[in-house]
Amino acid sequence: MAETMTYKILKQHLVEGRLEKGSEIGIRIDQTLTQDATGTMAYLQLEALGIDQVKTDLSVSYVDHNTLQNSFENADDHRFLQSAAARFGVWFSRPGNGICHQVHLERFGAPGKTLLGSDSHTPTAGGLGMLGIGAGGLDVAVAMAGGPFYLTAPEVLKVNLTGKLPTWTGAKDIILELLRRLSVKGGVGKVIEYAGPGVGTLSVHERATITNMGAELGATSSLFPSDAVTKRFLEDQKRADQFVPLEADPGAEYDHEITINLDELEPLASMPHSPDMVKPVKEIGPLKVDQVAVGSCTNGSYYDLRLVAELLKGKVIHPGLSLVVAPGSRQVYMALARESIIESLLASGARLLESACGPCIGMGQAPPSGGVSVRTFNRNFAGRSGTADAGVYLTGPAAAAAAALTGVLTDPRELGDYPQLPEAYLPVVDDRMLIKPPGDGSNVEIMRGPNIKPLPLNEALPEKLELKVLLAVEDNITTDHILPGGSKVLPLRSNIEALSEYVFASLDPGFPAKAREFGRGMVVGGENYGQGSSREHAALAPMHLGVKAVLAKSFARIHHANLVNFGVLPLTFADPADYEKISAGDELVMDDLHRQLNSREINVKNRRNDQNIKALHHLSPRQVEVVKAGGLLNYTRR
């Protein structure tokens, strides 16, 4: 039977379940990655599992999120992560070495392998033909301990690329076009496979831009074939031995199919405050711009920054804005330095940042009040930039450079002739900022600062829940809404008690006090509740405050899994219209709960109006037992 790339990889890694769409399967994970905003908790969880050494083929701990060291917390976390990596047999990527997705693509990713990462943009590895999946830190810890990763066998969406990108357009415009068509919910439950004659015209880094932002579609993962382009990339990285060809079989059947004619694309931009609010740049501008930010794991490659430098060469940025540039990795930074490209950027007035996530997660470089920021990043949720009332527009590097020069959002085609860029370059391969673990780390002492607190555990699910509705929220609530990022909050990721004070800070600053007052509570949500990052803290911190259940119209995949992992019951409305029957302050009762979990339907009684509401759970039998146990850690120990 002809197979898709997705099912070829899943078949080779299947360890539990039947490979049938919609059923739960367990797969073997070859590699894992963590980053410092999620990694401290992941290694505390690994330690709690009692594992001496990781069981994966390769695991890497990256420091790329919390690199702004305002106080001791981030530095202490980095020291903890480096010692934990040595203790458990994990590679350690030092601060400044680059963003996890860019570095992993360059130095570790391998076609046909599986990668599980505690970051939602782990599917970036699909640019190499690797099945990368984002997950919560606890799922990654279990995978490092040798356990399977469980997921629903996905549908597969084929995106057929025809033609060739015109000048002034790029890979960012391809994924923005897909977001325009499908929305931020269009990829839920799916893996997206790219095929067609247009694929061969895209470099690995361009492919990685597209797979990176597949996370914004809600997709489980995204995949490009492993072909001659992939082979050349791995040869340049001095990893030719990692190459294996991978493509879908002729005649493979897909659940959905879309065609994008690259010849017809034009420069696009995503408008505030959602990545799927996409229009052509020429239809949005001219719009006064206060800040331009180039880089991130989406557009931080050599070619992205080389293009910006060529467009700025001999010119000075507009006096009404600031421009910051963050190369995606140290390898990219060194190539730009070697070829004096950094000189062009600096001469233009650009401010160079370190190779880290930085402004993308609100870690510095917040725009001015009410300002407009044009960014080559992947998310533009309200407040994510660090400025609550700023408007963030997502574009490709050409449009970002055009805005930097003109001071307004500008169609880059107005700049004139497209610059001549080299078709190939040799990367600077230097792994001295990667620390290989010792053969035996059993005697390594894990170093803990005072901000690293013990892992909180949930209680087992009781037979009866009487819960106060603490908050009712609208559609598309992101993990940034549930638990914000930024330089003030991110350093508390290893201290759940302190972190919990910021739960729903942008929507209801009194939420933590209210939750503590009522003891046990729940949250009611709309469609796509929990979209965005993989941060398990958006489930763990509410659990710590006593949230026992979330009742929503629908959930984003990773957040649903994180709620299960921490023993918080995720339920959906059988009839979405029932959402209107519940208000904040209502008391909801679920009785005989363990028996009800044996079926899909859960009866929820609202004591305020004496109405019964039918809710559904979408848990596998295994997940039911995880929730009953009070979370995955309790379940695994048991």
Task: Give pLDDT tens digits for 83-113.
Answer: 999 999 999 999 999 999 999 999 999 999 9
Domain spans in the chain, listed from the N-terminal domain onward = 5-264, 268-414, 465-637
Q: Amino acid identity of 320? A: G
User: What are the pLDDT digits (tens) for 480-518?
Assistant: 999 988 878 888 888 999 999 999 999 999 999 999 999
pLDDT, position 534: 80
Active site amino acids:
64-65, 119, 379, 533, 535
User: What percentage of the chain exceeds 70 in pLDDT?
Assistant: 100
| Mean pLDDT across 296-324 | 96
Is 0.75 topped by the overall pTM? yes
CATH topology identical between 5-264 and 465-637:
no
Is residue 38 over pLDDT 80? Answer: yes
Please tell me the distance from the alpha carbon of residue 613 to that of residue 387, in angstroms, as a whole number: 39
pLDDT, position 489: 86
Least confident span in 200-204, 361-365, 616-620: 361-365
DSSP labels, 222-284: EE--B-HHHHHHHHHTT-GGG---B-PPTT---SEEEEEEGGG---EEEPTT-TT-EEEHHHH
Residues 234-267 as b or e (16 or more Cβ within 10 Å = b): bebbebeebbeebbbeeebebeeebebebeebbb
Average pLDDT over the chain reads 95
Confidence band for 554, pLDDT divided at 50, 70 and 90: very high
pLDDT, position 636: 83
pLDDT, position 91: 98
User: What are the pLDDT digits (tens) for 225-244?
Assistant: 999 999 999 999 999 999 99
As a residue count, the chain comes to: 638
pLDDT, position 251: 94
Quick one: CATH architecture of 5-264? 2-Layer Sandwich (3.30)
User: What are the pLDDT digits (tens) for 586-604?
Assistant: 999 999 999 999 999 999 9
pLDDT, position 533: 82
Q: Does domain 465-637 have CATH number 3.20.19.10?
A: yes
Q: Which fold has domain 268-414?
A: Aconitase; domain 3 (3.30.499)
Please tell me the distance from the alpha carbon of residue 505 to that of residue 501, in angstroms, as a whole number: 8
| Mean pLDDT across 124-138 | 96
Confidence band for 180, pLDDT divided at 50, 70 and 90: very high
